Amino acid sequence: MRAWPVLLPILMLSAPALAEGINPPPGSTPVPDGAPTLKGGNIPQITIRTEGKTKIEEFRYHGQLYMVKVYPPHGKPYYLIDLNGQGQFTRFDGPIPRVLVPQWVIGTF
């Protein structure tokens, strides 16, 4: 109960700053809902094509292919991800690669 006299003026002073953050700054272009973004807010180029009954989505960033999502006619979709930028793709069954746990030796006894 004693915090209200201190908390109320702080909330009143911060309300305009919070409301200002809701609207985008002038001259900015909004990103469409659901569009994935990468570092710096850049949007990757997505190409959708079909090979027979297989649907393929190719994700490029600055012209370099880094991920492919494959929708086979039967079965679950899977991802081919270039982990190190060398053009060698690794298959994953989900959008996020498996967590690699560091296995450093801290000390031996």
Does 43 reside within a domain? yes
Owning domain of residue 54: 39-92
Residue with the larger pLDDT of the pair 90 and 109: 90
Average pLDDT over residues 4-9: 62
- What confidence score (pLDDT) does residue 72 get? 93
Domain of residue 62, CATH code: 2.20.130.30
CA separation for the pair 7, 1 (Å, rounded): 10
CA separation for the pair 73, 51 (Å, rounded): 10
Does 88 reside within a domain? yes
Average pLDDT, the chain: 73
Does 62 reside within a domain? yes
- What confidence score (pLDDT) does residue 106 get? 77
Per-residue pLDDT reduced to its tens digit, 39-64: 566 677 889 999 999 999 999 888 88
pLDDT value at 82 more than 90: no
Pull the structure tokens for residue 105.
Answer: 């030796």
- What confidence score (pLDDT) does residue 10 get? 65
DSSP structure string for the chain: -TTHHHHHHHHHHHHHHHHHHHSPPTT--PPPTT----GGGPPPEEEEEEETTEEEEEEEETTEEEEEEEE-SSS--EEEEESSSSS-EEEESSSSPPP----------
Domain total for the chain? 1
